[in-house]
Structure 1
């Protein structure tokens, strides 16, 4: 395609262009910018000639903010850059490139924002030069300019985030044939990938941070506490607040005074005070002149608005001195109390204290947001669903269904899988846990809207992913202040080591993607860790694999298997380090493993006094890790070249016509299998088994045959323990 020579316009020419717009050589005015995309019937059908494209018809993600569904080119004042941006976005949406996927409509607004950021740099640093005049040194300057961060001290973006900024510019070069009046004339960073240009490394593992186990344990406990306990108090306070707002109130002064005196008498009889304000609440002291006059009578610490609602008169009467005098007398007589609503707060059995102070209207709004965040944590973490799938849950999505034999009742959720589905999400049903069902029930009472994750206090607008992230972190910060009242452990801070070697301790920053990744990690690696709490991960694993996570659409099973593969590699590296340091390990597979480890050390020159690169060691052991599985009594170093050596397979295959080729871990016999490997980590389990045998031997009711069998078993197990004598104190660390 022919690219028209870049057009530079003077300010007067730009003003004239507004009356006579530039034209694109590639896209007519009536070009459908959503051409080829599946669109919902009745949705908007934007055309290229419009300066505002509403892409809602092709977006299936329900939690996007309305402004993220619209691409507004009116934000760009320069006509050449505006037309260039329109051509660029239109081409990304409808014109395939061999090196790039089509741009999804939900990401179009973000791409426009990144392109406009590049425009801001050119305007501020290079007097608004055209794209055609951009050189590689200027692009390097843009990289440094972006890396600096904001002037308010906020740190700059990470290397991987910088790669996102660079990728837009590289894509601008790839789509140069679709740009009429201005385009790049040099290939950015000489064809390097965005990651390399930004200095980021391509990571083989998932780059999403995994929430540390103590942090996730505490957060899950608090989220479950809110869902099961605090929710009833918050929902009851919301009902009380709603009822107060709907009550008719009196406008007559004499009747208002009578109502006020009756309310004070009622509070006096109940041993309660008048509603007071919390000084730490922002905006509790209005600034108009009439309020200053009220403060002279009664003080700013009294919640006059709530007092009027509770007593049943109109708060406009607070301009009357008689009303304020009665309030002042009441405060002097019975004092103030925090909050002021009648809804009682549940007492925690661990401490004997209410889990928080009484609520007022502002605190009800705050606690409603915290409850929404707690429900999100429970659902996202215990289902493994993506953020868009969690926030896409609709009213009535939960139902129960009996199993075929009628013995069990399964909790199920009906939702949507949206990733890679364009505007046509796929309906999915998955099995879940009772705690998730409880969270959905709470959400259905928290909002009356179609989508469950709707801001409790802001009409029908959804809470986008960015706001959910903020709400989760505010919830985590809030529950730290409640730890002493409830007896629940607070969310611990995390210690990190900085670039300069200094360690910092601060709160963990949660994002929506971390829950799916952390759940996959726990299922694959630590099914019985601290984080389990009241949730049994065996049950969670079965439930999610039976439903949502077992479907190919979710991709969760693949993520768990990837985590499991990395766990197996970590485990075999640990055995390698044991052998290198001389730590004891025994079993039928010990000799074979030591031989493989010796081969790796010889090839890499890895010895205690001269260590090889750890990344190379991991790669050399990756093949061995593929068949290595950790167990309670022994690790299984399965030899796939000789499957008959496994006791579990030899016994199973004799009884089956079709031979198995993978170990049967439930039928493991670690005491006499050629694939078993025991280490000092297995000693406690063997010691418990020997102790149990000793207890049985004390029983005088067992016969001689049983006693002989127990003694033989004890001798075999004690032999394993003797070979695992812990002499690590004599072993030097590498």
Structure 2
């Protein structure tokens, strides 16, 4: 990436409305050009530049910025995307010559909040901002009750507007912030730093009273209940694969004959009890419950549309009492909780949710028991785990995968796709079992994807890897499901309580297992070896 300069100095940033916003050299391979935002668009999807699969959509909505200041900030954002980081910023510890999309989104959101504050004070151009205004803004942030370091980073992001001023029209040029004065220190504007010491990990551990039963249920689901769910998944997929792609000749009459035979023999029609069944019933109204169209289509070799048409043609003949429970799969239940089977036979409409819970349990086991970072465990691929029998008869399980933290190119910029970790992770057998389960659930190379179930929402980006945010929601759903099983089996001592520090996120697992290991004899040395803690090593 080169700086737009001429012999007369920098070329001012003033893109035409139809100018593509994102640098072509940074785009994800295979991106459809029709998806690329142009300068006049109010929505910029920055993740089109990110080659890390688990990243969030990273959308910037410029409509949230006050209209008078919006063009100036959009030009500054364009400069951030196309001009290498100015030297004055490279002198700061955390700056790189190329900024990653996740950081860019935070920068632009900080600018939008700053613009709202300016607009509330009647400032309509960046060039109108004075050093005194910026001192007042620092005081405004200081009194809002945020962490000192959060405010420090925010003021540093405002400094970026000043750093790019030479590349912007005169009306867009921000005065040098007073905290950038060589004689100034940030505490002059934000007060005394009362945060934890620099370098101390501020991520809260998962409370032991939460982590213990959560791990119990994750291991139980993978080791004891997983075989039943995997067997049901195979049968479910076999049935779905048997549905023809096109309407079968005479299929509607075949369905009607089947329905009438069931009713004549005193049997009831299978109803749909899937998550969307209630919504469908409410949408279309009527007294009759929704029928299990997909299951009947698979059983009769017709399309779901033909089943729906046949049911509609018999509406005058049907009554609510003609419908029974949802269809179940012909898969025996082998898993047990205590002395009892863990559940009745698995229903056709329950498979998708059970697959998600099993995949989540495998993810919890892998992330917690290995100590991998979130992006590392989410990037695991089929065949990553190997089993080696040593000469003394013991078994060793190794996991090979990519790591991302500290992976830099020759210019010191982060490599988003990471690189293969030179040393594999040494893991326990339950982690190897969890990986094997994930491999049975997924069809592709990745072990944890957002497209695991049929109802996965599609996005305009061809990304499949699960994101950390989506993992939080799956862990929350798994917790609810595990607690339902605990109550059903009278195991209230295994209920998973709410964590006092909020949602259980993947990044908290690594911190939690480290907390436990550190408190064991020799734990500090073990952490240095397994987790690569540079300071301890």
**Smaller-chain TM-score bracket:** 0.7 to 0.9
Residues 93-492 of structure 1: matches in 2 within 5 Å?
A: 93=85, 95=87, 97-100=90-93, 101-102=95-96, 103-106=98-101, 107-123=103-119, 126=122, 128-130=124-126, 132-133=128-129, 136-137=132-133, 140=136, 161-174=150-163, 176-177=165-166, 179-181=168-170, 182-187=172-177, 191-193=184-186, 197=190, 201-204=194-197, 205-246=200-241, 247-248=243-244, 251-261=250-260, 274-277=270-273, 283-288=279-284, 292=285, 295-296=286-287, 299-300=288-289, 303-310=292-299, 312-313=301-302, 314-322=306-314, 325=317, 330-331=322-323, 336-338=324-326, 340-346=328-334, 348-350=336-338, 352-355=340-343, 358-361=346-349, 363-403=350-390, 405=391, 407-421=393-407, 422-423=414-415, 425-428=418-421, 429-455=424-450, 456-457=452-453, 458=456, 461-486=464-489, 488=491, 489-492=494-497
In 1, distance between residues paired with 2:351 and 2:188?
46
In 2, distance between residues paired with 1:438 and 1:126?
62
In 2, distance between residues paired with 1:284 and 1:192?
61
Residues 681-692 of structure 1: matches in 2 within 5 Å?
A: none
In the alignment, what sits opposite 2:411? none
Q: CA deviation at 1:167?
A: 3.4
In 2, distance between residues paired with 1:510 and 1:318?
47
1:555 paired to 2:532: yes
Aligned Cα root-mean-square deviation (Å): 4.8
Q: Is the 8 A contact 1:3 1:180 kept in 2?
A: no
Higher relative contact order (CA 8 A, sep 6+): 2
Query: Cα distance 1:214–1:267, how it changes in 2: closer, same or farther (>3 A)?
Result: farther
Q: Is the 8 A contact 1:351 1:485 kept in 2?
A: no
Query: Cα distance 1:122–1:400, how it changes in 2: closer, same or farther (>3 A)?
Result: same
Q: Is the 8 A contact 2:333 2:341 kept in 1?
A: no
Pick the structure with more helix per residue.
Answer: 1
**For 1:448-489, what per-residue CA distance to the aligned partner results, in whole angstroms no more than 9, with x for missing partners?**
222222120237522222222222223223322221234551
Q: CA deviation at 1:316?
A: 2.6
Gaps of 5+ in 1: 8-13, 22-28, 149-155, 497-506, 528-537, 563-734
In 2, distance between residues paired with 1:493 and 1:525?
24
Query: Cα distance 1:179–1:415, how it changes in 2: closer, same or farther (>3 A)?
Result: same
Report the secondary structure of 1:469's partner residue. Answer: helix
Query: Cα distance 1:20–1:557, how it changes in 2: closer, same or farther (>3 A)?
Result: closer
Query: Cα distance 1:33–1:302, how it changes in 2: closer, same or farther (>3 A)?
Result: closer
Q: CA deviation at 1:258?
A: 3.2
**For 1:159-179, what per-residue CA distance to the aligned partner results, in whole angstroms no more than 9, with x for missing partners?**
655554343113434555555
Q: CA deviation at 1:203?
A: 0.6
Query: Cα distance 1:219–1:280, how it changes in 2: closer, same or farther (>3 A)?
Result: farther
Query: Cα distance 1:196–1:241, how it changes in 2: closer, same or farther (>3 A)?
Result: farther
What is the count of residue pairs matched by the alignment?
485
Report the secondary structure of 1:431's partner residue. Answer: strand
Q: Is the 8 A contact 1:226 1:371 kept in 2?
A: yes
Q: Is the 8 A contact 2:262 2:269 kept in 1?
A: no
Report the secondary structure of 2:478's partner residue. Answer: helix
Report the secondary structure of 1:257's partner residue. Answer: helix
**For 1:38-64, what per-residue CA distance to the aligned partner results, in whole angstroms no more than 9, with x for missing partners?**
x9999999xxx9859998898553312
Scaled by the length of structure 2, the TM-score of the pair is 0.73
In the alignment, what sits opposite 2:508? 514
Gaps of 5+ in 2: 408-413
Q: CA deviation at 1:309?
A: 4.3
In 1, distance between residues paired with 2:269 and 2:17?
69
Q: CA deviation at 1:372?
A: 2.6
In 1, distance between residues paired with 2:143 and 2:290?
46
**For 1:12-43, what per-residue CA distance to the aligned partner results, in whole angstroms no more than 9, with x for missing partners?**
xx9xx85799xxxxxxx999797xx9x99999
Q: CA deviation at 1:524?
A: 0.8
1:525 to 514, 519, 524: 519
Q: CA deviation at 1:556?
A: 4.1
Q: Is the 8 A contact 1:93 1:105 kept in 2?
A: no
**For 1:258-301, what per-residue CA distance to the aligned partner results, in whole angstroms no more than 9, with x for missing partners?**
33355679995xxx98345278976242423xxx4xx34xx226
